[in-house]
């Protein structure tokens, strides 16, 4: 569902970017990309979103090359950035209805409320303007947008950064539900603990290269930390 | 999709206090300005009717006198006020409202309304055209300066793009969300104006098509500003920069460009000073036929020519009064002199208009302003047309009076006195302004320039959104 074939992106001056990345994330998998700042995690996500053009290789979503069929490939993916922002003068429900509508999905209010409930947003917040929402609440609306879109692929860029442990845990639970529904998830994160807990697969990146890929269940927290630090040094 | 975006943008904008308040203020200003203009319009209409009637009454009630004395007594031509002046007063207040029509002289329009105003009026007046031409573009900037830059700043643009939204659809959705409230404001203003004008007994020359075309001109003008605002917002890295750039565009377009155009036009094609203009006319008159001076060289030459033409030896043998005939020939000669000098003024005016139109390539304000004034019949073109009509009337009036004197008396008979019958036989002055078709034809370049502004700014917006 989310596939990178010899994918490279070089910025002017040759710094940063990604080099020869190969990935294949199937439905029902959560692939956590670990790495320091500048490792190429966000660049990878931006290339899959077609916000950046790859220098070489292919980024595929549901078999569609995103740089050739950008708009079509977006029918299958949803995206939640590190700090998801919504329209502050609209309620959570209105934001959800708008973003779903943009994606070509029209729902009745009850269905929209169901998505918000499924994403874990408390019912009394549905009709409140999102200017009063916490980051965690906004992330939940982001999940609801992804649910409403019925996306087969989900791209997450540091989604739990800045969330309190409870909100982070709720977010992980929602991801797990999406995984169980067969969604392929690519999550860029610094959070080793969350990667180990939520991910089915973990990749460690450094200077644009994917240095190691492993199954989350094959290592414990301390082994993962040790491995990560080994690659970072 | 565009409709969905428009609805969302409208909802968001209307929930924002800054925009709601601005809309309300502009709406209130518009209504107040129409109300003020209505009062001014009614007052001027009444003054015009009263003055016209009084002048006619004075003319037909004058004592029995020699027709040429009546020609010197003279009368007035009053410039009528046209219904759309309610919306755009144009140059009316600065161009004079009446012309004194007398023998031998072509006079300028006098009694400018601006002369009766206080110094504070130099800072502008609360008129519908002021709101329509200056304030609504500012409102557009206020609503849309951050249309794209805010989406970029808060990150919603990335989310929208990830949803597969085409950026041109986003631009069009935003475009309509700015255009619709502005159109509503405009329609409200024009609707109130139409209701008011429709309730007048003297409905004047207003045709609904003219009101509609004027509305379309303003809407096109606003469409240009919306394009520019969205374009700048799409290209700006942040909303602050966008606002500063757009305010700069507004200042340049609406304030600086008209003044620069005026200075440039006056510099390149200046009008002669009044003193020089009058001196040149006096010089030409001096060298020509003087109807009051039978010893003038031209008068003597005319006398000889007439005697030869009629095959007589004495002016007494002519079948008409040569004094009246000479007076008329003198009028015709003076009319030619005025025609020549005013034609030069008209040429300078046309050359200045060319400069304005060239400057309009740098400011959408100018073509909109010229079109609006032209449709309202409050531009200089209409004023020139009125002055020409008054001059033609003066020439015909002088001819009627001089010919009466010439035909009904014989040479040397200055005792003849015409009465009310003759005064009444000269029809009252009436003036019909140029038809809409003629106005549009005269202003075709302004229409083309405004459309060019629309097309280029829309193309720029398309280009900018393709880079988002």
Average pLDDT over residues B328-353: 86
| Contact across the interface for A85 and B16, Cβ inside 8 Å | no
At residue B311, the pLDDT reads: 82
The secondary structure of residue B101, as a DSSP letter, is E
The secondary structure of residue B253, as a DSSP letter, is I
At residue B179, the pLDDT reads: 95
Shortest CA gap B219–chain A (Å): 28
Distance (Å, whole) CA B165 – CA A74: 9
- Give the confidence band of B307 by pLDDT, cuts at 50, 70, 90: confident
Q: Is the pLDDT of residue B111 over 80?
A: no
Q: Determine the residue of chain A that is closest to B173 in CA distance.
A: A102
Average pLDDT over residues B370-382: 89
Residue entry with tokens 């207003």: B206
With contacts defined as CB-CB under 8 Å, which chain A residues touch B158? 49, 51, 79, 81
Which of B5, B11, B162 lies nearest to residue A79, judging by beta carbons?
B162
**pTM of the shown model:** 0.84
At residue B124, the pLDDT reads: 61
Average pLDDT over residues B49-67: 87
Distance (Å, whole) CA B165 – CA B153: 18
Residue A78 resides in a domain:
yes
pLDDT in tens, A91-114: 999 999 999 998 888 888 899 998
Side by side, the strands of the sheet bearing A18-25 are A18-25, A2-9, A56-61, A64-65
| Contact across the interface for A77 and B162, Cβ inside 8 Å | yes
Q: What percent of chain B has pLDDT over 90?
A: 22
Question: What total number of domains does chain B contain?
Answer: 1
At residue B196, the pLDDT reads: 79
Side by side, the strands of the sheet bearing A77-80 are A77-80, A153-157, A184-189, A30-35, A201-206, A209-215
At residue A229, the pLDDT reads: 80
Mean pLDDT of chain B: 85
Average pLDDT over residues A129-157: 88
With contacts defined as CB-CB under 8 Å, which chain B residues touch A86? 156
Confirm if B375 and B217 have CB atoms less than 8 A apart.
yes
Residue B321 resides in a domain:
no
At residue A120, the pLDDT reads: 82
pLDDT in tens, A206-231: 888 888 888 877 878 787 778 778 87
Confirm if A156 and A142 have CB atoms less than 8 A apart.
no
Question: What total number of domains does chain A contain?
Answer: 1
| Contact across the interface for B163 and A74, Cβ inside 8 Å | yes
Residue B291 resides in a domain:
no
Sign of CA dihedral B11, B13, B18, B19: negative
Average pLDDT over residues B101-110: 81
- Which is more confidently placed, A129 or B314? A129
Residue B72 resides in a domain:
yes
Point out which residues pair with B394 in neighbouring strands.
none
| Contact across the interface for B154 and A51, Cβ inside 8 Å | no
At residue A36, the pLDDT reads: 81
- Give the confidence band of B123 by pLDDT, cuts at 50, 70, 90: low
With contacts defined as CB-CB under 8 Å, which chain B residues touch A81? 155, 158-159
Contacts of A20 (CB under 8 A, 6+ apart): A6, A7, A8, A57, A209
At residue B227, the pLDDT reads: 96
Candidates A61, A87, A96: best to mutate against B (most CBs of B within 10 A) is A87
Cβ of A87 under 8 Å from any chain B Cβ? Answer: yes
Q: Is the pLDDT of residue B338 over 70?
A: yes
| Contact across the interface for B11 and A90, Cβ inside 8 Å | yes
Which of A81, A94, A101 lies nearest to residue B155, judging by beta carbons?
A81
Lowest mean pLDDT among A1-10, A152-161, B113-122, B279-288: B113-122
Which of A86, A99, A155 lies nearest to residue B163, judging by beta carbons?
A99
DSSP string covering chain A, please? -EEEEEEEE--TTS-SSEEEEEEEE-TT-EEEEEE-TTSSHHHHHHHHTTSS--SEEEEEETTEETTTSHHHHGGGEEEE-TT----TTSBHHHHHHHHHHHTT----HHHHHHHHHHHT--GGGTTSBGGG--HHHHHHHHHHHHHHHT-SEEEEESTTTT--HHHHHHHHHHHHHHHHTT-EEEEEES-HHHHHHH-SEEEEEETTEEEEEEEGGGS-HHHHHHHHHHHH-
Distance (Å, whole) CA B336 – CA B104: 11
Point out which residues pair with B98 in neighbouring strands.
B78, B110
- Which is more confidently placed, A191 or B112? A191
Residue B285 resides in a domain:
no
Query: Which residues of B fall below an 8 Å CB-CB distance to A?
Result: 1, 4-5, 8, 11-12, 15-16, 154-156, 158-166
Q: Is the pLDDT of residue B30 over 90?
A: no
The secondary structure of residue B207, as a DSSP letter, is -
pLDDT in tens, B407-437: 888 777 778 888 888 888 889 888 888 888 8
Residue B435 resides in a domain:
yes
Comparing C-alpha atoms, which of B373, B381, B393 is closest to residue B434?
B381
> In terms of residue numbers, what domain contains A12?
2-84+153-232
Residue A48 resides in a domain:
yes
pLDDT in tens, B149-205: 988 888 888 888 888 888 999 999 999 999 999 999 888 888 888 887 777 766 555
At residue B350, the pLDDT reads: 87
Q: Is the pLDDT of residue B299 over 80?
A: no
With contacts defined as CB-CB under 8 Å, which chain A residues touch B12? 87, 89-90
At residue B114, the pLDDT reads: 55
Count Cβ–Cβ pairs < 8 Å, chain A vs chain B.
64
> In terms of residue numbers, what domain contains B208?
2-265+344-375+422-466
Distance (Å, whole) CA B464 – CA B401: 70
Q: What SS3 class is residue B71? A: helix
Lowest mean pLDDT among A76-90, B243-257, B282-296, B350-364: B282-296
Distance (Å, whole) CA B147 – CA B329: 70
- Radius of gyration of chain A measured on its C-alpha atoms: 17
Residue B194 resides in a domain:
yes
Residue A137 resides in a domain:
no
- Give the confidence band of B87 by pLDDT, cuts at 50, 70, 90: confident
Comparing C-alpha atoms, which of A131, A133, A132, A79 is closest to residue A102?
A79
Residue A89 resides in a domain:
no
ipTM of the complex: 0.84
Which of B5, B8, B166 lies nearest to residue A71, judging by beta carbons?
B166
Cβ of A193 under 8 Å from any chain B Cβ? Answer: no
Provide the pairing of β-strand B98-101 with B75-78.
Answer: antiparallel
pLDDT in tens, B383-405: 888 888 998 898 888 888 888 88
| Contact across the interface for B158 and A101, Cβ inside 8 Å | no
At residue A226, the pLDDT reads: 82
pLDDT in tens, B433-459: 888 888 899 889 899 999 999 999 999
The secondary structure of residue B97, as a DSSP letter, is S
With contacts defined as CB-CB under 8 Å, which chain B residues touch A101? 1, 4
Residue A97 resides in a domain:
no
Point out which residues pair with A202 in neighbouring strands.
A32, A214
At residue B202, the pLDDT reads: 60
Cβ of A84 under 8 Å from any chain B Cβ? Answer: yes
Residue A111 resides in a domain:
no
- The token duo for A5 is 């074939």
Provide the pairing of β-strand A184-189 with A30-35.
Answer: parallel
At residue A210, the pLDDT reads: 80
Average pLDDT over residues B93-105: 81
DSSP string covering B8-51, please? HHHHHHHHSHHHHHHHHHHHHHHHHHHHHHHHHHHHHHHHHHHH
């Amino acid at each position: 569902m989310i596939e990178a074939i010899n994918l490279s992106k070089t910025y002017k001056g040759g710094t940063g970017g990604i080099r020869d990345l190969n990935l294949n994330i199937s439905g029902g998998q959560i692939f956590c990309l670990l790495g320091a700042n500048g490792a190429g995690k966000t660049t990878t996500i931006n290339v899959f979103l077609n916000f950046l053009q790859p220098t070489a290789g292919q980024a595929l979503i549901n078999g569609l090359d995103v740089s050739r069929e950008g708009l079509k490939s977006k029918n299958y993916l949803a995206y939640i950035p590190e700090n998801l922002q919504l329209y502050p003068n609209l309620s959570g429900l209105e934001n959800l209805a708008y973003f779903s509508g943009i994606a070509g999905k029209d729902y009745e209010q009850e269905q929209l409320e169901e998505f918000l409930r499924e994403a874990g947003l408390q019912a009394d917040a549905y009709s409140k303007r999102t200017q009063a929402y916490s980051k965690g609440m906004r992330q939940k609306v982001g999940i609801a947008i992804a649910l409403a879109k019925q996306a087969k692929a989900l791209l997450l860029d540091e989604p739990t950064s800045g969330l309190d442990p409870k909100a982070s845990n709720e977010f992980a639970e929602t991801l797990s539900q999406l995984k169980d529904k067969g969604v392929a998830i690519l999550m860029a994160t610094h959070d080793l603990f969350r990667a180990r807990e939520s991910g089915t697969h973990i990749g460690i990146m450094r200077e644009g290269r994917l240095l190691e890929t492993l199954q989350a269940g094959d290592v414990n927290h301390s082994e993962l930390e040790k491995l990560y630090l080994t690659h970072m040094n | 999709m565009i409709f969905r975006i428009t609805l969302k943008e409208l909802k968001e904008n209307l929930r924002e206090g800054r925009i709601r308040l601005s809309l309300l203020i502009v709406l209130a200003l518009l209504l107040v300005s129409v109300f003020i203009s209505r009062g001014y319009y009614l007052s001027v209409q009444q003054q015009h009717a009263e003055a016209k009637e009084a002048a006619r009454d004075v003319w037909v009630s004058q004592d029995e006198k020699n027709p040429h004395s009546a020609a010197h007594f003279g009368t007035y031509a009053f410039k009528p006020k046209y219904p759309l002046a309610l919306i755009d007063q144009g140059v009316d207040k600065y161009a004079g409202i009446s012309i004194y029509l007398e023998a031998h002289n072509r006079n300028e329009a006098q009694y400018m309304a601006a002369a009766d105003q206080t110094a504070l009026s130099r800072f502008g007046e609360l008129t519908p055209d002021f709101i329509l031409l200056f304030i609504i573009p500012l409102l557009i900037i206020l609503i849309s300066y951050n249309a794209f830059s805010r989406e970029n700043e808060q990150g919603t643009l990335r989310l929208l793009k990830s949803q597969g939204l085409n950026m041109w659809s986003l631009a069009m959705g935003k475009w309509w969300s700015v255009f619709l409230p502005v159109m509503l404001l405009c329609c409200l203003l024009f609707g109130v104006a139409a209701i008011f004008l429709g309730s007048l007994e003297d409905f004047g020359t207003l045709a609904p098509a003219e009101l509609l075309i004027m509305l379309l001109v303003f809407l096109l003008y606003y469409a240009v500003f919306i394009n520019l605002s969205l374009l700048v917002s799409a290209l700006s890295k942040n909303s602050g920069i966008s606002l500063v750039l757009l305010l700069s565009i507004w200042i340049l377009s609406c304030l600086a460009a008209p003044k620069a155009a005026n200075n440039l036009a006056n510099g390149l094609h200046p009008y002669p000073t009044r003193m020089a203009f009058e001196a040149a006319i006096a010089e030409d008159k001096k060298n020509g036929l003087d109807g009051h001076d039978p010893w003038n060289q031209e008068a003597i030459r005319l006398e000889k020519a007439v005697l030869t033409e009629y095959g007589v030896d004495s002016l007494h043998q002519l079948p008409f009064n040569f004094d009246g005939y000479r007076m008329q020939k003198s009028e015709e000669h003076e009319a030619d002199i005025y025609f020549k000098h005013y034609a030069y003024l008209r040429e300078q005016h046309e050359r200045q208009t060319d400069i304005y139109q060239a400057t309009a390539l740098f400011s959408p304000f100018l073509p909109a302003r010229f079109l609006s004034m032209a449709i309202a019949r409050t531009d200089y073109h209409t004023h020139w047309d009125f002055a020409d009509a008054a001059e033609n009337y003066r020439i015909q009036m002088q001819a009627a009076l001089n010919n009466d004197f010439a035909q009904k008396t014989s040479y040397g008979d200055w005792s003849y006195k015409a009465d009310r019958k003759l005064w009444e036989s000269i029809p009252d002055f009436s003036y019909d302004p140029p038809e809409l078709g003629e106005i549009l034809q005269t202003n075709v370049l302004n229409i083309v320039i405004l459309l060019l502004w629309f097309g280029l700014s829309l193309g720029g917006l398309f280009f900018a959104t393709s880079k988002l």
